[in-house]
Amino acid sequence: MSAAGRFRAGVLAAALGTVLSPLATAAPVTWQAWTFDYQVTNTEGLKITNVTFQGRTLLSSLSFPVMRVFYDANACGPFVDRLGGTLSPIPWANNSTLAQREFTLGGKQWYEIGIRDEIGNYDMYQVYYLSADGTIDAHIYSKGLQCVVNHVHYPNWRIDVDLDGATNDQILRDTGGEFTAMATEFNAAADSAPNHAWRVRDTTTGLQIDVLPGFADFSIPDGSTTLPIAGYANHTVFGRLFRASENRGWTFGPNTQVPYNNGENIDSKDVVLWYEGYLPHSAAEGAGLWHSTGVRLISNLVPPPPPDADGDGVPDATDNCTLVVNASQLDTNGDGYGNLCDADLNNNGVVDSQDGALLKAAFGSALFPDRDLNGNGVVDSQDGALLKSRFGQPPGPSGVAP
């Protein structure tokens, strides 16, 4: 690779004027129903981690590993820009190196956290906007011209989704009228989904986030002009199985899109979604116009499933054997205890020798359904084993017994 194409993050720090070291230590934020930690590194820019909303885990992390830059006819570059190596003061945040503010837009309350980095002749602001009603909008702003030639930036966000925990997540694509799970690792044009609609869903709890293009109405709050880019047909989505060895920032050149596509199964797994945007800059627009694009994550919280201690699909509150798998809920004597956990055949409150005698007297018969504990149609040795396992215990427990 030519010198122009090498990593540029931080290499021109001496020429940038005042620059400050990044914040490498994670710091916590609690705002409205959100909690998360944040940190800044030279491998992932501003990164938020351990992201929860209304007490539900949404993301392990959301970061900005790279922005690839290509000039027409290779007049400059190509470049790999990695933010966070040096931080520049943010004029609209009292020259702090970390912007944090609350504001109202579109009738919603928003929280903003962002960093500014200057690389070569580029001035960039990487930011996350979080709404009070459960949306995250990851945004990038860029202005400046390294060469006075048309060029395109390709910003990349890495979204490590952990909906209600790391496992059981699937990436779905709108196929027109329904969402279909992606079975294996993939690279896909974002608009291969009608309406640009992608989704990540936890198959156990139903918690999901919709993945859409970023909101176009955000702007730099310094009175300058921002040009939002809506060329969503040029955005790309990548689905990957999470592997710790692949979570190491960007170590590739500008001509590499997201790597690690090994064709592995990602259905109901620990998944990572990469999103690459498209941010063109015409030389005729000059160096002072901010351009922006982003990706939006909209949480859709469904109530968590009610407790089901034995995992038989019947919630504890309506389960007549809360600690024994009995999806059929067979209860032949109607006392609120399912047969499988009710070997108290004489209803004296405990399983004892009298119950053993009653079961023995019915052995081999199909005429005593209350003594057919496993419900297989006959009193047999399996029922004897069940009675023996519960000897000295009361029936149940049950969520419906009086």
| Residues whose CB falls within 8 Å of the CB of residue 59, separated by 6 or more in sequence, listed in order | 48, 49, 51, 136, 159, 160, 161, 162, 297
Provide the pLDDT confidence category of residue 301 given band limits of 50, 70 and 90. confident
In CATH, what class is 3-300? mainly beta
Residue closest to 198 by CA, chosen among 297, 97, 306, 82? 297
Rounded mean pLDDT of 82-102? 93
Q: Over the stretch 354-373, which tens digit does the pLDDT of each residue have?
A: 999 999 999 999 999 999 99
Q: What is the mean pLDDT of the chain?
A: 90
Structure tokens at 87: 């931080």
Position 306 scores a pLDDT of 80
Identify the bridge partners of residue 269 per DSSP, sorted by sequence position. 169
Position 12 scores a pLDDT of 30
Q: b/e per residue, 46-74, with b = 16+ CB within 10 A? A: bbbbbbebeebbbbbbbbbbbbbbbbeee
Q: Over the stretch 213-259, which tens digit does the pLDDT of each residue have?
A: 988 899 998 888 899 887 678 999 999 999 999 998 899 999 999 99
Residue closest to 159 by CA, chosen among 168, 171, 174, 173? 171
**8 A C-beta contact, residue 172 and residue 200:** yes
Query: Residue 279 above 50 pLDDT?
Result: yes
Q: Rounded to an integer, what distance in angstroms lies between the CA atom of residue 311 and that of residue 363?
A: 31
Q: Over the stretch 127-184, which tens digit does the pLDDT of each residue have?
A: 999 999 999 999 999 999 889 999 999 999 999 999 999 999 999 999 988 999 999 9
For the purposes of burial, counting CB atoms within 10 Å of the CB of 33, is it exposed (0-12), middle (13-18) or buried (19 or more)? middle
Fold of 316-389: Type 1 dockerin domain (1.10.1330)
Structure tokens at 203: 């198959």
Structure tokens at 29: 């934020």
Structure tokens at 58: 């949404």
Q: Over the stretch 9-63, which tens digit does the pLDDT of each residue have?
A: 333 332 223 334 445 556 899 999 999 999 999 899 999 999 999 999 999 999 9
Q: Provide the residue ranges of all domains of the chain, joining segments of one domain with +.
A: 3-300, 316-389
Position 1 scores a pLDDT of 30
